[in-house]
Structure 1
Amino acid sequence: MKKVTKKNLELNLKEATSTLLEMAHHSCWNRISNNIYYIISEIKQDNWNRIARKKENEKKELKSLEKITAELKVIYENLYDLNLYIYKSEKKKTIIEIQYYQKSSLESEFYETVKK
């Protein structure tokens, strides 16, 4: 797997989106729209409550891949992990949630090894 850099971040997210949709098309009998929008969320230790996350996500603005990439580039140096999920798929649109984990949220000992 190639290293994700600030320069190739958008391309990697586009490829990850394609792979995610391909897996969903093969695994689901429902139709999944290829009209894609994104939302973004930070992974925090206290946001595992599914109901609260859903309420929070419902308030978020749907964005293009370009806008999401621009937001992620601002915090790129502190990114540790990115996860893509199909949050919701409707007849005319699919919403992909990109969850990110920041290096600064890691345990202090481990943070020292990855903060470069």
Structure 2
Amino acid sequence: MNRENLKESINICITNLFQLVKINCRNSVSPNLFFILSDCNEFESSNASEQRVFRHRINNSKTLLTLDAVLDVLQKEFDDLYDVTLYVFRATRRETIIEIQYYRKSNFDADYFSVVKDNLPRFHSKIAMPVYAWEEEKFDVNWESGGGMHHMWKTFLWRNFLYRRRIKNLKR
């Protein structure tokens, strides 16, 4: 992957992301895409649930971008990109907002930076899975954004019954 293939790499990741949603999520996503960009250092927190809430709050205030605008920003940052990951931030029938998180090489300490400074960026597509999602069970792609009554019900069941039963089985 080089600078000239950036758009192709992003499009491949978008296709892979849609496949992940189709396989794992019960709702469909719109092909009308908007994007938000996030530097991974924006969301530093020691607690994963705090980080998720903080990330959601920050991303809600960001301006939606088109693919061309995102590619312009990533082209400018290309030499410093270490890792680029695409997530579905929010999906409705009318639009899908994809968050593109990137991690910079310059964020590493000096020793590791000297090792990776000439490496090309890596590209990934991921979806966040709720704790209650078991194998072969589909979930709401918008669970991090609230997810509605189904998400609240499944979270309630997990916290009050399923988690306790799993802990009891581990202790035996």
Give, in whole Å, the separation in 2 of the partners of 1:23 and 1:79: 24
1:98 deviation in Å?
A: 0.5
Consecutive unaligned residues in structure 2, runs of 5 or more: 46-50, 119-172
| CA deviation profile, 1:12-71 (whole Å, cap 9, x unmatched) | 101110111122112212121111111000011852422221111011111111110110
Matched residue SS, 1:33: coil
From the superposition, tell whether residues 40 and 29 of structure 1 become closer, same or farther in structure 2 (CA, over 3 Å).
same
Partner of 2:115: 113
Among 49, 52, 76, which residue is 1:50 paired with?
A: 52
Q: Is the 8 A contact 1:84 1:96 kept in 2?
A: yes
Runs of 4 or more consecutive aligned structure 1 residues displaced over 3 Å after TM superposition: none
Give the structure with the higher percent strand: 1
Residue correspondence of structure 1 range 1-116 to structure 2 within 5 A = 4-44=1-41, 47-48=44-45, 49-116=51-118
Give, in whole Å, the separation in 1 of the partners of 2:52 and 2:88: 15
From the superposition, tell whether residues 46 and 32 of structure 1 become closer, same or farther in structure 2 (CA, over 3 Å).
closer
Give, in whole Å, the separation in 1 of the partners of 2:43 and 2:26: 34
Q: Is the 8 A contact 2:38 2:100 kept in 1?
A: yes
1:107 deviation in Å?
A: 2.2
From the superposition, tell whether residues 65 and 46 of structure 1 become closer, same or farther in structure 2 (CA, over 3 Å).
closer
Matched residue SS, 2:82: strand
Could you state the TM-score of these two structures normalised by the residue count of structure 1? 0.90
Q: Is the 8 A contact 1:33 1:93 kept in 2?
A: yes
From the superposition, tell whether residues 30 and 45 of structure 1 become closer, same or farther in structure 2 (CA, over 3 Å).
closer
Query: When the two structures are aligned, how many residues end up with a matched partner?
Result: 113
Q: Is the 8 A contact 1:47 1:53 kept in 2?
A: no
What fraction of aligned residue pairs are identical, expressed as a percent? 29
Where relative contact order (Cα < 8 A, 6+ residues apart) is larger, the structure is 1
- Alignment RMSD, CA only? 1.4
